[in-house]
Structure 1
Amino acid sequence: MGLLQTLTDWQDALYQRRIAKMESKGLCPDCRGKGYSLHINEYHYAPPEKCSGCEGNGSFTTWHEKSQQP
């Protein structure tokens, strides 16, 4: 097992823990239940965008249904 595989496994484990934590709270793992995401850039202001994972409502159920679609 190489270093790259170890890092990939570690990153996947962190992501799975975040999904489990957000599921227990009923919140979208992508935006953490806010419904929007911010793109911070030091050169210009970008307005918040609706979360594409939960369609802007912050719900885990919506995120889960959308992530199961092909």
Structure 2
Amino acid sequence: MGIFNHFFDMIAANREKKLEKMRDQGICPECRGKGYHAPIGNAYVYMPSFDYRCYSCNGTGSFNDWENQTHSPT
């Protein structure tokens, strides 16, 4: 069990490091500040333009909007 705990602690530490880096840069961790998700599609897949928007930051790419959206009480 110790190796599993170490593995999950390592994953949590990497996530915290990523969030701290994104907080310093002021960009959304989900879309990396772009405001949209670039889909992997092909000629046979139709995706309307509203599906590209990052719903975590409402398409702004801002860390503050991401934090307010994901950590707000429902």
Q: Same fold (TM over 0.5)?
A: yes
Aligned residue-pair number: 70
Gap change, CA 1:5 and 1:61, over 3 Å in 2: same
TM score, norm. by length of structure 2 = 0.74
Name the SS of the counterpart of 1:36 in structure 2: coil
Query: What is the deviation of 1:54?
Result: 0.6
Stretches of structure 1 lacking an aligned partner (at least 5 in a row)? none
Q: After the TM superposition, which parts of structure 1 deviate over 6 Å for at least 4 consecutive aligned residues?
A: none
- Across the aligned residues of Structure 1 and Structure 2, the Cα RMSD in angstroms comes to 2.3
| Distance 1:7-1:45 versus aligned 2 partners, 3 A rule | farther
More strand by share: 1
Asked if 1:49 is matched to 2:64, the reply is no
Q: Which has the larger radius of gyration?
A: 2
Equivalent-residue separation in structure 2 for 1:60 and 1:46 (angstroms): 30
Percent of aligned positions that are identical:
34
- Match of residue 65 from structure 1: 68
Match of 1:17 in 2: 17
Structure number with the higher helix fraction is: 2
With normalisation by structure 1, the TM-score equals 0.78
